[in-house]
Amino acid sequence: MPEEPMAATEASIGQPPATSHQPPQPAASRDDRRAAIMLKEWPALKADVAACTACPLHAGRKKTVFGVGDENADWLFIGEGPGADEDTQGEPFVGQAGKLLDSMLASIRLKRGANVYIANVVKCRPPGNRNPEPAEAAACEPYLQRQIDLIRPKLIVALGKVAAANLLASDASVASMRGKVHSYRGIPLIVTYHPAYLLRSLPEKAKAWTDLCFAVKTMTELPARPNAG
């Protein structure tokens, strides 16, 4: 999908041209938008996402996919972005990959919505299920950051390369990132394969199981949240 043309005001105040690595927005208003998002509580944050037009993905969506689950969860699973089923239903991971995610959760005695929250890097479906562009992920990132600040999970599980790359600002492979405890702004983060990838590559399921066991062990060893409610 083509990027929106740069606004005339942007060019006139001497911003560098927008590239695929920059949100097409002047730095000052980008910072203002981020600061405003960081002050929002759940209802305002949800309303903001539902009405968002901050990146070109808004044009092709049926529904925004905010995220779902327990807003006080210890566990936060983060995927890439909505697919066709999620776009129709407005909920993350409800298609085939979602069924596998649900059984992965069940295998470690977790359940969608009970001490688990599920979100994505981008809240609107990329056309044809392509990966989100860096500028799209950057435009959507304040929402995810605010969700994480409000949830205060004990552990984040990044599902697949796109989630891991965006959360850890790294281009490393999932193979090289799994089996370690990383950190997202001070919160322990573990990387595993995306369920859609596991559906195509069944031998990797065993590795994902190893990763889930590692996540459970890591969670068990983490201190309780200071003022968990």
E strands, the chain, are 68-69, 75-79, 116-120, 155-159, 182-184, 187-192
**Nearer to ligand URA by C-beta: 97 or 189?**
97
Tell me how far, at minimum, the Cβ of 38 lies from ligand SF4, in Å. Answer: 15
The site partner of 93 among ligand SF4, ligand URA, none (C-beta below 5 to 8 Å per kind) is ligand URA
Q: Do residues 87 and 112 make contact, with C-beta atoms less than 8 angstroms apart? A: no
Interface with ligand SF4 (CB under 6 A), residue from 97, 105, 119, 139 = 139
The site partner of 122 among ligand URA, ligand SF4, none (C-beta below 5 to 8 Å per kind) is ligand SF4
Tell me how far, at minimum, the Cβ of 90 lies from ligand SF4, in Å. Answer: 12
The site partner of 198 among ligand URA, ligand SF4, none (C-beta below 5 to 8 Å per kind) is none
Distance CA 107, CA 101 (A): 10
The single residue listed with the structure tokens 């891991």 is 164
User: Residues in the site for ligand URA, rule: CB under 6 A?
Assistant: 79-83, 86, 92-93, 97-98, 120, 196
Nearest-CB residue to ligand URA? Answer: 79
Distant-in-sequence, close-in-space partners of 55: CB < 8 Å, separation ≥ 6 = 23, 122, 124, 135, 136, 139, 140
Could you say whether residue 124 binds ligand SF4 (CB under 6 A)?
A: yes
Tell me how far, at minimum, the Cβ of 185 lies from ligand SF4, in Å. Answer: 19
Count Cβ atoms within 10 A of the Cβ of residue 94 and give its class: 0-12 exposed, 13-18 middle, 19 or more buried. Answer: buried
Tell me, what amino acid is at 218?
T
Rama region for 169: left / alpha / beta (φ>0; ψ in -120 to 50; rest): left
State the residues that interact with ligand SF4 by CB under 6 A: 49, 52-55, 57-58, 64, 122-124, 136, 139-140
